[in-house]
Chain A
Amino acid sequence: DAKTTQPPSMDCAEGRAANLPCNHSTISGNEYVYWYRQIHSQGPQYIIHGLKNNETNEMASLIITEDRKSSTLILPHATLRDTAVYYCIVRVAHGDDKIIFGKGTRLHILP
């Protein structure tokens, strides 16, 4: 079973910030939070990951709460091309354990 809980779907207006929440209340101290997305008919695409601190890259920002039990992926200026299923995944950075994808959040960007 996935260790994360995400809303099944969300809408966001084009040009606005899309904030995608993820709950991971059982996260362990050595587990990272990863975000991937899957645009229709394509393979999943890495977005960002973090351990404790907030992270930002050219695609998105990741905000992790102080207790690490939840996080939020922020797409600062959503475009129609950001319409996808977004997956929040928790696991150790290096290891042979299973990489489990949950159901993800289907994000609809509205024109």
Chain B
Amino acid sequence: DTAVSQTPKYLVTQMGNDKSIKCEQNLGHDTMYWYKQDSKKFLKIMFSYNNKELIINETVPNRFSPKSPDKAHLNLHINSLELGDSAVYFCASTEGGGFTEAFFGQGTRLTVV
């Protein structure tokens, strides 16, 4: 079984659309993250949730809204997609808010055309 799974793996959409990326972890971890990896391959943290509560919210446009229905899921909804949102988005989870052995999903490649 995949520890951290993201869907979809690929997403191609037009500018202005609204899309969601889903993430689920079956590790029983308390903390989940969203990262963005741009074309220059820099990995940047976007959000962090601990037990469904928002812990870290980096300088991310309001068009990005994470939602955590339970501690095993952290979904990312993006409104009014822009060309600059094209990137690979990674979900990750850790136990207890620490960074030891963070588990990452396989990523969602978002392409906005």
Contact = CB atoms under 8 A, between A and B. Distances in A.
Interface in A26-76: 34, 36, 38, 41-46, 49
B99 A98 contact: no
Interface residues of A, number: 23
B56 A103 contact: no
A34 B103 CA distance: 13
Interface in A58-111: 85, 87, 89, 91, 93-96, 98-101, 103
Contacts of A34: 99-100
A43 B90 contact: yes
Contacts, number: 56
B1 interface: no
How large, as a class, is the contact surface on chain B? 20 to 34
A94 B97 contact: yes
Interface in B50-109: 50, 55-56, 58, 90, 92, 96-107
A56 B113 CA distance: 46
A46 B94 CA distance: 11
A42 B99 contact: no
B92 A43 contact: yes
B40 to A, nearest CB: 9
Contacts of B107: 41-43
A46 B103 contact: yes
Interface of A: 34, 36, 38, 41-46, 49, 85, 87, 89, 91, 93-96, 98-101, 103
